[in-house]
Structure 1
Amino acid sequence: MIQKINSSQFLGHGPIKILYPGSAVSSTDTGIGSIGRIDHPEIKSNTVIKMHPHINDEILSYFRTGEAEHSDSEGFVKVIGGKTLMLMKAGRSFFHEEKIMGQQETMEGLQIFIRPGKKDLEPEVVFLELDNLHSENSWRLIGSPNPETEFQFSSQTWIYDMKLLSGNNYEIPELPNKNLTALLYVFQGSVKINSSIDLKKKECIIFKDETISIQASEDAELVLFFTDEQGEIFKGGMYSGNQM
């Protein structure tokens, strides 16, 4: 079964729109497996998001336009955005601040809150320098539970991205493991799924055990999640945890 989530299911009236993906398919959990929450911020330049805490969240900062100076309680100061991605493993406790840089360009991307495999892990910050801003017409693995990926989640979570150019067709990559649940998110552009389901910016589908074909109606930036809903996770994170 394929479940579509419309942009109307986002929360928030300011520059950060918040999606609890489980709310669309469950009455008991705001997340889906380890996928706790997805934020889609569009923040103007010269904005400061002041120092604030995270506890038991693993946060992937996936910004496609604009830049921000990140500083945190672990002592890291680094400019992120574009080809520079960041994974913050909050563990027991972690504080960070972002200063949106530049004069005109809006900073837009995703902040993805993944549930950790266990409670109170050691805090850690990891940066990933991509070779190219986009992976055109090919899935790129951003993070996984496996040590060969620079972004390693403590839960059974996989995240891919791809820019599917207009007129091209593509399928979902081979599953890392069987019995995984998937979420396909449209960050920019629009696509048609299985020739029948239209998806545009800030829309997604959730599916399991389905054959999925993606056709690009226009250039489309896609983010794909896999999660093992039976895997060990901690659902009490400050932002990634179950809000019900």
Structure 2
Amino acid sequence: MIQKINSSMFIGHGPIKVLYPGSAVSNTDTGIGSIGRIDHPEINSNTVIKMHPHINDEILSYFRTGEAEHSDSEGFVKIIGRKTLMLMKAGRSFFHEEKIMGQQETMEGLQIFIRPQKKDLDPEVVFLELDSLHSENSWRLIGSPNPETKFQFSSQTWIYDMKLLSGSTSEVLEFPKKNLTALLYVFQGSVQVNDIIALNKKECIVFKDEPVLIKASEDAELVLFFTDEQAEIYKDGMYSGNQI
């Protein structure tokens, strides 16, 4: 099974476009397993996203251009963006604010809302300093449920990224465990999947038990998700939860 999700599935008229990936494949859940929601912001510099709450969400801030000053109710103040990623585990309650910095560069990236395994876990903020902005032609692990991963999700969730250079090909990784569902998201550029499916920016495919070969039509930045739809998750998070 391979199902394409077009960019038309995004909602929102402002600088933040919102995708509920389950809406394209289900009538009962706006998420797919632990993948609750994917935001693709393109925010102008010198913008302030004022202090606001999250409850029972695990939010990965994955910004590729621009920088922001992050501050939160746990007392952290830090510049995030580019090689500095952030995972906010909201748990019972969590507040944060972002001040987009710079004079010209738009801050673009993803905010990925992962469903926690259980309700009301302790809040936590974790930062990850990448060795390089991109991992060219090789999948890089960003987060997983495993304790040796700095970004550790409470649910059965894995996230990888890669920059696939123009003309290059790559297979999707061997799934981390059996019976997982995968989602391949194109953050930038365009690719061909199995020579039959064209994916452009803000498009993705959902698949399971299928061989997937990707060829870059141009330089493409890709994000790959795996989730166990049968594992325990909490579906009533403030943003990650089921919206139906």
Report the TM-score when normalising by structure 2. 1.00
Matched with 1:236 is 236
Matched with 1:101 is 101
**AA of the residue aligned to 1:72:** D
> Residues 78-97 of structure 1: matches in 2 within 5 Å?
78-97=78-97
Identical residues among aligned pairs (%):
86
- Give the Å deviation of 1:190: 0.1
- Helix, strand or coil at the partner of 2:23: helix
- Helix, strand or coil at the partner of 2:40: strand
Separation in 1, partners of 2:26, 2:9:
13
> Residues 1-244 of structure 1: matches in 2 within 5 Å?
1-244=1-244
- Helix, strand or coil at the partner of 1:202: coil
- Give the Å deviation of 1:106: 0.1
- Give the Å deviation of 1:97: 0.1
Separation in 1, partners of 2:59, 2:153:
10
TM-align CA RMSD: 0.3
Separation in 1, partners of 2:172, 2:232:
25
Separation in 1, partners of 2:142, 2:231:
20
Separation in 2, partners of 1:107, 1:232:
34
Pairs aligned (count): 244
The runs of 5 or more residues in structure 1 that have no matched partner are: none
The runs of 5 or more residues in structure 2 that have no matched partner are: none
Separation in 2, partners of 1:63, 1:72:
18
Separation in 2, partners of 1:141, 1:232:
22
- Helix, strand or coil at the partner of 1:30: coil
Separation in 1, partners of 2:175, 2:190:
24
Separation in 2, partners of 1:9, 1:31:
13
- Helix, strand or coil at the partner of 2:22: helix
Can you list the C-alpha shifts for 1:43-65, whole angstroms capped at 9, x where unaligned?
00000000000000000000000
Report the TM-score when normalising by structure 1. 1.00
- Give the Å deviation of 1:174: 1.2
- Give the Å deviation of 1:194: 0.1
List, as ranges, runs of 4+ consecutive aligned residues in structure 1 with deviation greater than 2 Å: none
Can you list the C-alpha shifts for 1:176-216, whole angstroms capped at 9, x where unaligned?
10110000000000000000000000000000000000000
- Give the Å deviation of 1:175: 1.0
Separation in 2, partners of 1:174, 1:199:
21
- Helix, strand or coil at the partner of 1:151: coil
- Helix, strand or coil at the partner of 2:51: strand
**AA of the residue aligned to 1:196:** I
Separation in 2, partners of 1:137, 1:149:
21
Separation in 1, partners of 2:96, 2:236:
20
Separation in 2, partners of 1:8, 1:29:
18
